[in-house]
Amino acid sequence: MKDLINRILKAFNIGGRDWAVLLLALLLAFSIWIIHNLSLKYNDYLTVPVQAYCNIDGHSSISSNTCDVVARGRAVGYKVLKFNLKGRRKAVTVEFSPSVMKHKEGDVYFLTSDALQEYTHLIYGSGVTIEYFVSDTLFYRFPDVDSRKVPVHPVYSLSFASQYMSDGQMNISPDSVYIYAEPNLLESISQVYTKPIKHSDLKSSVSGMAELEKIRGVRFSEKQVRYTIDVVRFVEMKSEVSVKCMNVPSDKRLMVYPSTVSVSLKCAFPLPAGFSSEPEIYVDYNDFIKSVSGKCPVRTGKLVSGIIDVDIDPVYVECVLEDR
């Protein structure tokens, strides 16, 4: 063999270092040819193992198996080569919408090739054009897991512009979610929290989406919730209001000290027609007979529309019972 190579080199008058240069040139030409051909586009069958992620109530979010997704497609040569190297293929995890994952039986769910169309870019990546899917139906197993419904607690920091305030509590929707985890972990969780919601210098109502704080080993039925904060402009009104006595027996008289209290009202602006700045303020005889010290809490009657907040001073008054 060596003699044959020497005769060929001699026939072409190649000797010394010339044969090494020739070999290098051949390798370079072959490399350029390979790169050129791999950069061309080819039609072929492309195979990708896919593991499914799907948020299905009562089941694990990750399938316990993978399925080969096979499609006829067009891509550049190096991608076609990658898809067809069986030993080098790595499973791709794709998040599917629960609406496309159909229940078969038990913990088995399936999706059809029609549903795969909108997930092409997640399965094959960019630069791949799919003509049609060979895989007709994919079957996945999502093992059962324990679940529990818990309330969502919003975590927030709010500040308001002068003469503005929130009208009621922050509204959260949904106000509760299902959590999925091991039984022992589920029992230790009584509520879940949002990531901090921050707004400053508020002058108008605001809403948005807040993500839930993740808990290791726990899956949520919802990843985020919608919050709404109603903001209103208010005016503050102060007055001295006489304290009435309610539910006192007809043969008794309840004396109150002091007989008037300071009432500060925060009212939505503009004020409604016929608005009164003096709400009904009273003490209840039933509170008095339960009291050891003779002090009773000052209560308010039904507040008219437009009153957002009421501040009373003092909040307790001295009461003395007398016969009529």
278-306: per-residue pLDDT in tens?
A: 788 999 999 999 988 889 999 988 877 77
Model pTM? 0.54
pLDDT band at 168 (very low <50, low <70, confident <90, very high): confident
Q: Measured between alpha carbons, how far is 225 from 208 in angstroms, rounded to an integer? A: 8
The whole-number average pLDDT for the span 103-111 is 92
Structure-token pair, residue 246: 């309610």
Helix (H, G, I), strand (E, B), or coil: what is residue 195? coil
The whole-number average pLDDT for the span 234-246 is 89
The whole-number average pLDDT for the span 73-88 is 61
* Contacts with 31 (C-beta within 8 Å, 6 or more apart), sequence order: none
- Is residue 36 predicted with pLDDT exceeding 50? no
Distance between start and end Cα atoms, the chain: 134
Out of 209, 229, 249, pick the residue that ends a domain.
229
Q: Domain total for the chain?
A: 4
pLDDT band at 13 (very low <50, low <70, confident <90, very high): low
Look at residue 8 in the predicted model and tell me its pLDDT.
Answer: 55
- Find how far residue 40's CA is from the centre of its chain: 43
- pLDDT exceeding 90 applies to what percent of the chain? 37
Q: What average pLDDT is seen over the chain?
A: 82
Q: 249 near 207, Cβ under 8 Å? A: no
Same domain, 209 and 239: no
- Is residue 190 predicted with pLDDT exceeding 70? yes
Same domain, 251 and 307: yes
Out of 174, 207, 229, pick the residue that ends a domain.
229
Same domain, 61 and 104: yes
List the strands of the sheet with 224-229, edge to edge: 171-173, 224-229, 206-211
The whole-number average pLDDT for the span 73-90 is 62
Domain span holding position 283: 235-323
| CA distances in angstroms from 271 to 164, 202, 230, 240, 259, listed in the order given | 14, 21, 17, 20, 28
